[in-house]
Amino acid sequence: MDLYSPQRARRSIFKTIRFRAISQVATVLSYIVLVRGMQEHAFGIYNLFYSFIPVITTLASFGLEQTLRRFQPEYLRTAKPQLSAWLVRTVAGARFASTLLMLAIILLAWNVIAKQFDLVGYRTDFAVFGVLIILYLQTAILQLSLASHMMHQYSVGSVAAMSVGKLLAYLAITIFGSLTLRSAILADIAAYSVGYLVLSVAWRLRTKTPQATDLHLDASERRRLTRYAVLNHLNDASSLLVYGQTDNFFIGAMLSPVAVAAYAFYGRLTEMINNLMPQKLFDNVIQPMFFAVPAAESHTRLSRYFTLLIDLNLALQLPAIAFVIVYHRELVQVFFAGKYIQSSNLFPLVLALSIVPSSMSVPISLVAQYHERAGLMLASELFGLYQVAAMLVLIPALGLYGAALSSGTFHAFRNFWIWWQMRREVQWRNIKGVLTMGLLVWGTVIAICSLLRMFLPPLPALAQLAIGAVICGMGALAFLRSSGISQSDREILANLMHGREARLLRWLGLAPQSRALPSVR
């Protein structure tokens, strides 16, 4: 069977659904325990530490992960397993060395860096956190590699194992002690250690690619890899502002660690919601399938895949935004005991501003990487100058809302510009249907929910959430059966999901009513 056939993709999707469900539930529960158990100041420092991960990832990237993501599926599709294995080992070794170098530089310059963010007394804690950073990046490389082999039971299964491990560790610490900054970091290290061990053993035993001692790259392929890696290193190094965690540095410098805690709280809730979207849920399946498309078929197939990814993402993201706009206070009150509720208006703003980056950034980046347009991605980072200026102006004027506006508009401008430059290679074929039905359906849902809150007798917060969930569910069914999902989307899904799940797809309106399977191409 072809490694990247629809049958393998379908199998990988179901494995991903199974493990992602476990992972998402465990992540939500562990975050509830973490937020409830940690003091606000410690939680702010904890999030500032995690903000160093994108700094190290980008400044010392050398284009490593991007090169592995782009070329390993191609090598596997063209029956070059030894070259694929060489690429994984090279990327893992180089990433380990670059991470150690960056950690050493940060620790040596700690007093200079830390005083800007109120972190001077936390050098030892950050040194411990450095172990977590190493494990985090090495684990990500193995997950990418196993996903390219379509072994998602390991790449996604490890994420579920780490999420459950964090939850158990947080619960144990909370029951027998208290969740401090150091104990939370140690719990995370333990979880990532288990995940890395499982992935390392799985990669060695399951990929079955012996190390090649006489492997030689021809000059043209070496130049191709080097050029791609260098351009992506420049792209990664200049894309630091793309990461939402980078906002924490601006807030920490201009406001306080407690303000970082509140902003990071709602940012993390937004991230967890966006992680449930199809693009994030099935990213390990989408990426290798995308890069394995033959060049001769790319113009037609990439546009269809591009449209499918955006349409499905918005089909789930729009109801989430509508629900949070009306019930943001109730959500925080019920699940997080009202912690940070004074800033709950920030939640719908951050979530709504994430709609463009979360729905467009993945598919447009995949198209640019497929066509090896790293230079285009690099040029888009010039929009970061706008974000820096906006942060410096809006945070003093509007506080956390200014940070959200600066980051959200930056992502919108950047992604629209990339799409405009790539419009000849790929088109969003269903933009009219999505915009029309999105405004009609979800505008109506928001109005109904708001009117019910206004005119019904006062109800407990949990009851209000239940009413809102029912109305949003009905709106979602209406949207899925409308032109918000194109006929092309339905045909691709019917071709991919043609087993027992086809009946559910037809009931939802996500597949043609006919049982005949259209071509995925």
Q: What is the mean pLDDT of residues 447-474?
A: 91
Q: What is the rounded distance in angstroms from the CA atom of residue 320 to the CA atom of residue 89?
A: 40
Q: What is the mean pLDDT of residues 125-140?
A: 92
Burial of 124 (0-12, 13-18, 19+ CB in 10 A): exposed
Q: What is the mean pLDDT of residues 312-320?
A: 90
Question: How many degrees, rounded to 5, is the angle at CA 371 between CA 369 and CA 372?
Answer: 60
The proportion of the chain whose per-residue pLDDT surpasses 70, expressed as a percent, equals 88
What token pair was written down for 254? Answer: 């201009």
> Would 119 be classed as within a structural domain?
yes
Residue labelled with tokens 């379509």: 150
Q: Is residue 110 domain-shared with residue 210, that is, in the same domain?
A: yes
Supply the Cα-derived Rg of the chain in whole angstroms.
23
Local confidence band at 233 (pLDDT 50, 70, 90 cut-offs): low
Q: What is the mean pLDDT of residues 287-316?
A: 79
Domain end among 428, 443, 478? 428
Q: What pLDDT was estimated at residue 346?
A: 92
Q: Is residue 260 domain-shared with residue 332, that is, in the same domain?
A: yes
DSSP per position, 150-208 = T-HHHHHHHHHHHHHHHHHHHHHHHHHS---HHHHHHHHHHHHHHHHHHHHHHHHHHS-
Length of the chain: 521
For residue 23, give the nearest of 118, 155, 111 by alpha carbon: 155
Q: Is residue 153 domain-shared with residue 63, that is, in the same domain?
A: yes
Cβ pair 348, 317 in contact under 8 A: no
Q: Is residue 207 domain-shared with residue 260, that is, in the same domain?
A: no
What token pair was written down for 251? Answer: 């807030």
Q: Which residue has the higher pLDDT, 325 or 489?
A: 325
Q: What pLDDT was estimated at residue 76?
A: 75
Q: What pLDDT was estimated at residue 215?
A: 65
Residue labelled with tokens 């999902």: 485
Q: Is residue 248 domain-shared with residue 172, that is, in the same domain?
A: no
Q: Is residue 122 domain-shared with residue 190, that is, in the same domain?
A: yes
Domain end among 196, 223, 250? 223
Q: Is residue 243 domain-shared with residue 213, that is, in the same domain?
A: no
Question: How many degrees, rounded to 5, is the angle at CA 492 between CA 487 and CA 495?
Answer: 125
Question: How many domains are contained in the chain?
Answer: 2
Q: Which secondary structure element, helix H or strand E, spans residue 98, and what is its range? A: helix 81-108
Q: What is the rounded distance in angstroms from the CA atom of residue 80 to the CA atom of residue 85?
A: 9
pLDDT digits (tens, 9 = 90+) for 73-122: 777 777 777 777 888 888 888 889 989 999 999 999 898 888 877 788 88
Q: What pLDDT was estimated at residue 519?
A: 46
Q: Is residue 152 domain-shared with residue 264, that is, in the same domain?
A: no
Q: Which amino acid is at 355?
A: I
> Would 499 be classed as within a structural domain?
no
Q: Residue 398 to residues 115, 242, 462: CA-CA distances in angstroms?
A: 24, 21, 31
> Would 87 be classed as within a structural domain?
yes
Residue labelled with tokens 């729009």: 318
Q: Is residue 202 domain-shared with residue 255, that is, in the same domain?
A: no
DSSP state of 510: -
Query: Of 12-26, 129-143, 210-224, 412-426, which gets the smallest average pLDDT?
Result: 210-224
For residue 58, give the nearest of 9, 95, 8 by alpha carbon: 95
Q: Is residue 180 domain-shared with residue 248, that is, in the same domain?
A: no
Query: Does residue 313 surpass a pLDDT of 60?
Result: yes
Q: What pLDDT was estimated at residue 408?
A: 87
> Would 435 be classed as within a structural domain?
no
> Would 482 be classed as within a structural domain?
no
User: Which of 303-312, 457-466, 484-493 reaches the highest mean pLDDT?
Assistant: 457-466
Q: What is the rounded distance in angstroms from the CA atom of residue 13 to the CA atom of residue 17?
A: 6
Query: Does residue 150 surpass a pLDDT of 70?
Result: yes
Q: Which residue has the higher pLDDT, 257 or 185?
A: 185
Q: What is the mean pLDDT of residues 175-189?
A: 91
Question: What is the chain's mean pLDDT, rounded?
Answer: 82
Cβ pair 185, 132 in contact under 8 A: yes
Query: Does residue 515 surpass a pLDDT of 50?
Result: no
User: Which of 79-83, 310-314, 491-495 reaches the highest mean pLDDT?
Assistant: 310-314
Report if pTM > 0.75: no
For residue 43, give the nearest of 336, 267, 262 by alpha carbon: 262
> Would 496 be classed as within a structural domain?
no
Q: Is residue 299 domain-shared with residue 341, that is, in the same domain?
A: yes
Q: What is the rounded distance in angstroms from the CA atom of residue 349 to the CA atom of residue 444?
A: 19
Domain end among 428, 445, 463? 428
Query: Does residue 239 surpass a pLDDT of 80?
Result: no
DSSP per position, 234-276 = HHHHHTGGGSGGGHHHHHHHHS-HHHHHHHHHHHHHHHHHHTT
Q: Domain residues for 404?
A: 239-428
Cβ pair 13, 496 in contact under 8 A: yes
- CA atoms within a 13 Å half-sphere pointing along the CA-CB vector of 315: 26
Q: What is the rounded distance in angstroms from the CA atom of residue 377 to the CA atom of residue 90?
A: 24
> Would 433 be classed as within a structural domain?
no
Q: Is residue 401 domain-shared with residue 306, that is, in the same domain?
A: yes
What token pair was written down for 358? Answer: 């979360």
> Would 303 be classed as within a structural domain?
yes
For helices 123-148 and 64-77, give the axis angle rounded to 10 degrees. 20
